[in-house]
Every structure is written in C-alpha cells, then in structure tokens.
C-alpha cells in the first residue's frame, strides 16, 4: 500500500521565504523533523515528525493542540452590516454578538471565492477568520460606497480539539468556559491573566475550541505553557496538519483552493445549505439563482490503497474525476478522500476505479459527505448514531 504522506515529506527542499509569517509558537514544538507549509501567508506545521495514527487517536479519544494558520481580519464601521451583507452569501444581519457563522463569499459568476467563519465581537465590529486566499484585497475592491474599514489584529490561532477539550478549557479559565458555550459560541475569557477571544469551533469535526492571541499583548509562550499544564493530565499532545487533515476529511470539511475554487459554485461543492438566496442582493446572487444545484464533490473509500492528491478516477475506460484530498482513516480502516467529478451526477454508491501512483487500477467506492456524523453531533458534545 502506497503512503502519499511519505512521498510528500521526502520530496522537499529548503527554501527561504521571509515574507511569510512565522508562528510565535513555533519554538514551542520545532524539531529537526518539522516540515512547514504555508496558508494565508503564514507558516504552519504540516508535519512535525510525530506518529500520525497516534495523534489521530489522541484527537478522537483525548485532545490535541494544533497551531493553525487561520488569519482573522477585522471589519468595522457604521456600514459594517450592509457591507458584509453584500460580501457574503449568508445573512449577516441576524448574527448576534458572541456567535460565529460559517459564511461564503462568491464571485459575480457564482464561484466560491472564500469560506470562513464570521464572528460578531461588538456592534459594527466583526472578525472574519479566513483559511487562505487574498481576503484583504477582495474587501478593499468592494469597499466603494461603504463607511467601513479593515485591519489586521495580528492574531494567531491555536486549536484544542478532542473529547477532553471542554475539561481543559474549563480548567484553564477557572471554570468560566462551560458546556453552556455552545457550538459556534464565542467570547472573551481570562487565561492566567491574559484576556483572549475563544470560540467553540475547529477544523476537525471533534468537540473543540479556538484561542485567538491579542497581537503583541499576548505572551504566547506563557499561553502555550498554561494550555499544556492544563491539557497534559488529560492526555493532550501537540499535532501537525497530518492528523487534523485525516479527521477533517472524515468530517466533510473542505479546504479553500484545494477542494474548491472560483470555478465551483457552492452547490457544486455541496455547500448550498449555506447560501441564503432569499436575502437582499449579494455578490454572485443572480448567477446562483440560475446555477445547477447538483454537486460534483463526493467522498471516496479505497480498501486496497490510500488515494493521493490528483489521482485519476475512472468509470471503465473514462476519466471522470480527480482526488483533491486524501489520507488513511484509522477509524474507517480505509483510504479516504474527496473526488471532484468532471460532471454532476448521482455518484454516491458508484463502484469506480482509481489510478495508483504506479499506474495500476484499484477499486474504490464513492460516498456522500461526510463519512459519518452528518448531524455534527460530535462537536456539539453529543454521541452520534453512526460513529
């Protein structure tokens, strides 16, 4: 069985790229095996030399701390709400303070420009947390006619994910964070004298929290030590993107610029539920009203081989799609991934073949997303029926 992770990590070169932002937490976990990636112009740990399966099970059964490259942007001003209503394809005017909402920005052609989570921090002040892409330029390009400003709060994001995350966050905040902070809830909390924004969100499909630093005012090393002092007794470990990547695929969480791009509509990506076509005009609305509602993105399971990125999917002798993300799922005991098909169709349940890196054809099954826990019960702290 081929291992695409080994292929990825063995074919690397050292490149100096000073324009990218190093994490203030990097020295807390860096070692000779650390391999960094870049997203949102920020370095992150793509691989830290850990045992991926051990970290995966720590994520499923205990907790893992991730240093992620997500980048918050602040949008504020008297016209913040009408501006955000124009930018995003989801209603923003109903978002209460202390809550986050997944929101997609579309192009005028209805393609997905970006996805992320929007938080309302105060009246007419919001953070949009982007995974990757040129968000600032997009906001500036559409600013004309709106009394609104944009700024970089210089916030770096840590994620604590896993079933023990609530206990850890409760201890580190002296009981201030409780289960009453529901999924997508957020607010300011004191962690050892440091006032930080915390949200009950994450990129894993597990119960989890994201902790946002407050620029230069945050002592990041002290925060890191505080989190591990609370987390280590609960089995918390540090993890790179490798284990997180497997879990996010299982959970059906998509990655901007990898799984979708501006050539795909939200409907084609299976994200139509997050488009409010009944709201007032927003960028891309007219195109989306006329768009086909069928998906072209599905899951793939392969028992005999692990899918690899860009692998061709065949229906007989016909090339029908490509893998966009992949990994080995210890829980499902199968190679899994996403397939972007060339054309829409009822692909779920299809038995197709995948070309391996050696050029061989192996059997695979196409499934609907997510692979399990479709109701998102796990991040809500509930027991799912199918996991």
86 and 209 both lie in a single domain: yes
Q: Are residues 78 and 92 in the same domain?
A: yes
Write down the pLDDT at residue 305.
Answer: 87
Looking at the chain, the number of H-run helices and the number of E-run strands are: 9, 19
Distance of alpha carbon 259 from alpha carbon 131, whole angstroms:
13
What is the chain's alpha carbon radius of gyration, rounded to the nearest angstrom? 21
Show the domain range for 234.
12-293
Q: What confidence tens digit (pLDDT) does each residue in 53-98 have?
A: 999 999 999 999 999 999 999 999 999 999 999 999 999 999 999 9
Is 275 within a domain?
A: yes
Q: How far is it, in rounded angstroms, from Cα 209 to Cα 215?
A: 19
Pair (244, 342) in one structural domain:
no
pLDDT at 151 over 80: yes
When pLDDT is cut at 50, 70 and 90, the band that residue 190 belongs to is: very high
- Domain check: are 175 and 303 in the same one? no
pLDDT digits (tens, 9 = 90+) for 163-183: 999 999 999 999 999 999 999
CB distance 210 to 202 below 8 Å: yes
Mean pLDDT of the chain: 94
Q: Which residues pair with residue 126 across a beta bridge?
A: 75, 120
Average pLDDT of span 185-207:
97
Phi-psi region of 380 (alpha: psi -120 to 50; beta: other; left: phi over 0): alpha
42 with 127, same domain: the answer is: yes
Residue 67's pLDDT is what?
Answer: 97
State the Cα–Cα distance between residues 272 and 312, nearest whole angstrom: 26
Q: Domain boundary residue among 293, 315, 338?
A: 293
Is the distance from CB of 166 to CB of 380 less than 8 angstroms? Answer: no
Is there a single domain that holds both residue 267 and residue 339?
no
> Span 324-349, mean pLDDT?
96
Distance CA 47, CA 35 (A): 5
Lowest mean pLDDT among 13-27, 75-89, 97-111, 264-278: 13-27
pLDDT of res. 60: 97
Say if residue 6's pLDDT is above 70.
no
Stronger pLDDT, 114 or 16, i.e. the higher one: 114
CATH number where 248 lies: 3.30.1360.120
Is residue 1 domain-resident?
A: no
- Residue 304 pLDDT grade (very low, low, confident, very high; cuts 50, 70, 90): confident
- 286 and 141 within one domain: yes
233 Cβ contact list (under 8 Å, min separation 6): none
If pLDDT is split at 50, 70 and 90, which confidence band does 2 have?
very low
Distance separating alpha carbons of residues 31 and 28, to the nearest angstrom: 9
Are 209 and 284 contained in the same domain?
A: yes
- Tell me: do 52 and 37 sit in the same domain: yes
Same domain, 208 and 174: yes
**pTM (2 decimals)?**
0.93
> Half-sphere exposure of 180 toward its Cβ, with a 13 Å CA cutoff?
5
State the pLDDT at residue 17. Answer: 65
Asked if the model's pLDDT at residue 12 lies above 80, the reply is no
Mind listing the pLDDT tens digit for each residue in 201-213?
999 999 999 999 9
The burial class, CB within 10 Å (0-12 / 13-18 / 19+), for 299 is: buried
| 285 and 303 in a common domain | no
- Examine the domain organization and report whether 206 and 124 are in the same domain: yes
Residues in Cβ contact with 252 at an 8 Å cutoff, skipping those fewer than 6 apart:
205, 270, 299, 369, 370, 371, 374
Number of domains forming the structure of the chain? 2
The Cα–Cα gap between 126 and 118 comes to: 7
Strand ranges (E), the chain: 35-39, 42-47, 64-68, 71-76, 100-106, 112-122, 125-130, 149-151, 157-161, 186-191, 194-199, 208-212, 237-239, 297-302, 312-315, 318-329, 334-341, 351-355, 361-367
């Amino acid at each position: 069985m081929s291992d695409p992770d080994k292929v990825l990590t063995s074919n690397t070169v050292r490149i100096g790229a000073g324009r990218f932002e190093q994490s203030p937490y990097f020295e807390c976990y860096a070692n000779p095996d650390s391999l960094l990636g870049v997203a949102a112009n920020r370095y992150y740990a793509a691989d830290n030399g850990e045992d991926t399966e051990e970290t995966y099970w720590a994520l499923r059964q205990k907790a893992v701390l991730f240093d992620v490259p997500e980048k918050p942007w602040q949008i504020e001003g008297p016209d913040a709400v009408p501006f955000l209503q124009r930018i995003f394809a989801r209603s923003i005017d109903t978002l209460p303070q202390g809550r986050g909402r997944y929101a997609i920005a579309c192009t005028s052609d209805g393609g997905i420009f970006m996805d992320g989570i929007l938080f309302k921090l105060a009246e007419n002040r919001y953070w949009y947390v982007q995974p990757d892409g040129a968000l600032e330029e997009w906001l500036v390009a559409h600013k004309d006619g709106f009394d609104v400003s944009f700024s970089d709060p210089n916030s770096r994001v840590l994620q604590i994910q896993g079933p023990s995350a609530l206990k850890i966050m409760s201890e580190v905040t002296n009981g201030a964070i409780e289960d009453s902070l529901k999924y997508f809830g957020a607010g300011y909390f004191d962690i050892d004298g440091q006032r930080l924004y915390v949200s009950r969100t994450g990129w894993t499909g597990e119960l989890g929290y994201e902790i946002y630093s407050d620029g230069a005012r945050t002592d990041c090393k002290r925060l890191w030590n505080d989190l591990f002092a609370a987390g280590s007794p609960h089995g918390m470990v540090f993890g790179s993107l490798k284990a997180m990547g497997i879990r996010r695929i299982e959970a059906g969480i998509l990655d901007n610029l990898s799984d979708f791009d501006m050539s795909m509509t939200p409907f084609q990506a299976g994200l139509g539920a997050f488009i409010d076509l009944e709201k007032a005009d927003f960028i891309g609305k007219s195109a989306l009203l006329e768009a086909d509602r069928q998906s072209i993105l599905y899951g793939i399971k392969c028992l005999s081989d692990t899918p690899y990125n860009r692998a061709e999917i065949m229906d007989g002798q016909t090339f029908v799609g490509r893998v966009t993300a992949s990994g080995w799922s210890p829980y499902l005991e199968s190679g899994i991934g996403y397939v972007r098909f060339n054309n829409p169709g009822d692909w779920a349940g299809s038995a197709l073949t995948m070309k391996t890196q050696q050029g061989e054809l192996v059997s695979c099954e196409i499934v609907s997303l997510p692979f399990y826990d479709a109701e998102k019960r796990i991040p809500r702290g509930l027991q799912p029926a199918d996991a």
